[in-house]
Amino acid sequence: MSITCIIRYEIDPFQRDAFKEYAENWGRTIPRCGGHLVGYFLPYEGTNNIAWGLIAFDSLAHYEAYRARLKADAEGHSNFTLAQKRQFILKEERTFVETVDGTFGMAPVIAGGAA
């Protein structure tokens, strides 16, 4: 993948389960609409109100086509409506990054033992 959209969410920490449901819903919709879903990530320890979503695309043009398909997708529309009604997302920011060759998806190498 050439670019990855990193979505940083500020969430209501008291509605963590609602955000989890929202993220799980995207697990079906994003791939169907053409995005490579790297994953959604909830806070585990430390800061309790920041979550992340990572979606990869071959190009910015592929992202734009994906956005058009997502807007027309009934399940995607339903998920956006869920977030608006329940208001568990307080703020959302998007950043586009490119992968540095030889650094993504590298499995750990443990000297003298099995991984």
Q: Residue 115 has what pLDDT?
A: 56
Looking at the chain, the number of H-run helices and the number of E-run strands are: 3, 4
Residue 59 CB contacts under 8 Å (≥ 6 apart), including other chains: 2, 3
Q: Residue 110 has what pLDDT?
A: 86
From first to last of the 115 residues of the chain, give the pLDDT tens digit: 589 999 999 999 999 999 999 999 999 999 999 999 999 999 999 999 999 999 999 999 999 999 999 999 999 999 999 999 999 999 999 999 998 888 877 888 888 765 5
Q: Residue 82 has what pLDDT?
A: 96
How far, in whole angstroms, is CA 40 from its chain's centroid?
A: 4
Predicted model pTM:
0.86
Q: Residue 27 has what pLDDT?
A: 96
Question: What residues form DSSP beta bridges with 98?
Answer: 3
Residue 4 CB contacts under 8 Å (≥ 6 apart), including other chains: 38, 54, 55, 56, 57, 96, 97, 98, 99
What the chain holds in terms of domains, given with CATH numbers, is 3-97 (3.30.70.100)
